[in-house]
Chain A
Amino acid sequence: MLARLRAYFDSSGVLEVDTPILSSAAATDPVLASLATRISGARGDGGLPFYMQTSPELAMKRLLAADVGSIYQICKVFRGQERGRLHHPEFSLLEWYRTGWDHHRLMDEVAEVVRAALDRPEMPAERLTYQELFQQALGVDPWRASADDLAAAALRAGIPDATRLELDKNGWLDLLLTQRLESRLGQDGMTFVYDYPSTQAALARVRDGQCPAAERFELYIRGVELANGFHELADPAEQRQRFQSDLERRRALGLEQPPVDNRFLAALEAGLPDCSGVALGIDRLLMIAVGADHIDAVLSFPVERA
């Protein structure tokens, strides 16, 4: 599968790159937990930690800002506190960026890459917006609904124990998505969900309008979230603001305050070309290729036996 992926990108003129796994900065997103390590003699004689990447995104964007053009990378990434049927703290990502493309054009290419990797040239792909998904399946508009409306929708949808949970609006959206909506996505091929609420923009640019939408997409196959892509945010001031609000939410949740990646912010100041990027979970793609139910089936040695 790795050979097929590399063959695809090599023939499309996308350059393979290799960025460091260790960084002096860490992901600020409160839902991501970075692992850390220390190196004697570096960063104040082992005083300060290095963080293992949760994704190669920021390093790859520094390369994009240096005008390397479209690039891809296959690498290991690390996320603490994630273990389950579809989660392993160390996993493989295929991440790539296309300069001058928006997220729709990139969705076309993601479908092509998946078809090539799975050797299923006829595999169909459909698209629907995040708003359509919620309206069609649950009859709620994720833009207009309040946290209480969503809690009521969760009760109607029969989510066990919904009344006991204390969640904010995004939490309720995530609950409904993971417990009631994901399983129906990508049952006949690929389903792309796109244009997310601006509160779930992560590193995507937000399109202004009546319902401001983050230009972000997710790919699902057989109910499994396989890829997440953005029309990339390039505005350094807004990026800095998002890092700050991440840190504030982390503080409110009593989470660690990781160092912000100032070198990445400097790269945005210098200018990130208009581009879209996507990260695709290779282990999950392998699970789909071989029909595995558990990620352990496609790992050589799961972490419990590493």
Chain B
Amino acid sequence: MASYSTNEFKGGLKIMLDGDPYTIVENEFVKPGKGQAFNRVRVRNLKTGRVVEKTFKSGDSVEAADVHDTEMQYLYNDGEEWHFMDPDSFEQMMADANAVAEAAKWIKEQDICKVTLWNGVPLSVEPPNFVTLEITETDPGLKGDTSGGGGKPATLETGAVVRVPLFVQTGELIKVDTRSGEYVSRAKDA
């Protein structure tokens, strides 16, 4: 298995710690002029998303994590697993609820997602930054209301609930920013 020396540490590097894959968020080199050098790093656990701080003796090496990102098309959910396809090789893969996590609220068939693979298995799924979804249920708005102020909850076709302006109605398509979970605008077509 490949490994990285602390000299190669930098943001984004994928390493194995205690059996879990991590990505380096921040790496700081600290060294007293006449003493032992250390690397103080902040790392994110790619399975749990938790960020922790670790300290290494400079020069130590750490096992590399076989983690990489791919663009994959979401096909369908069979009730338990989410099925994705590599649009180039047409290879299909299944991701479980742990991997899909929050992305499940936003993705629908045909969407291109960023799937992070660990040892070839989906570890996490990131939805597109913006998705266009149909409102399946929301209270009727008041006449003459413009987009300012207030708002109301709206349930989308994927099950997600977002706050929308009062003038937006059931059956309309809206654009949502999946990073913040916020309504962006009405959309004409999917």
Contact = CB atoms under 8 A, between A and B. Distances in A.
**3 pairs of A and B residues whose beta carbons are closest in the complex:** A84-B29, A174-B35, A174-B36
Contact of A160 (B28, B33, B53, B58): B53
A85 to B, nearest CB: 6
B55 A175 contact: yes
A228 B36 CA distance: 15
Interface of A: 29, 31, 81-87, 159-162, 165-167, 170-171, 173-175, 177-179, 182, 200, 202, 218, 225, 228
A31 B29 contact: no
A202 B37 CA distance: 16
Nearest to B41: A160
B53 to A, nearest CB: 4
Contacts of B28: 84-85
B82 interface: no
Contacts of A171: 36, 57
B93 to A, nearest CB: 34
A175 B36 contact: yes
Contacts of A225: 32-33
A51 to B, nearest CB: 18
Given A29-B34, A31-B37, A200-B34, 19 more contacts: A31-B31, A81-B58, A82-B31, A82-B37, A84-B31, A86-B29, A87-B29, A161-B55, A165-B57, A170-B35, A171-B57, A174-B36, A174-B38, A175-B38, A178-B31, A178-B32, A179-B40, A218-B32, A225-B32
Interface string B57-68: 111000000000
B70 interface: no
A173 B54 CA distance: 18
B7 interface: yes
Question: Which range holds the interface residue count of chain B?
Answer: 20 to 34
A81 B31 CA distance: 11
B32 A177 contact: yes
A85 B29 contact: yes
B30 interface: yes
A166 B56 CA distance: 10
Contact of A87 (B31, B40, B52, B59): B31
Contacts of A170: 35-36
B43 to A, nearest CB: 10
Contact of A179 (B7, B29, B38): B38
Nearest to A158: B53
A171 B59 CA distance: 13
B9 to A, nearest CB: 10
A29 B57 CA distance: 17
Given A31-B37, A81-B7, A179-B40, A165 B55 contact: yes
Given A82-B29, A178-B31, A162 B55 contact: yes
Contacts of B57: 165-167, 171
B27 to A, nearest CB: 8
Contacts of B54: 160-161
Given A170-B36, A179-B38, A160 B55 contact: yes
14 contacts: A31-B31, A31-B35, A84-B29, A84-B30, A85-B28, A86-B30, A87-B31, A165-B57, A166-B57, A170-B36, A173-B35, A182-B32, A202-B34, A225-B32
A235 B55 CA distance: 38
Contacts of B38: 174-175, 178-179
A174 B32 CA distance: 7
Nearest to A84: B29
B62 to A, nearest CB: 11
Contacts of A174: 32, 35-36, 38
A200 B38 CA distance: 17
A167 B34 contact: no
Contacts of A81: 7, 37, 58-59
B36 A167 contact: yes
A179 B55 contact: yes
B102 to A, nearest CB: 27
Interface in B72-111: none
Nearest to A29: B34
B29 A83 contact: yes
Contacts of A200: 34-35
Nearest to A226: B33
Contacts of B29: 82-87
Contacts of A83: 29
B40 to A, nearest CB: 7
Contacts of A84: 28-31
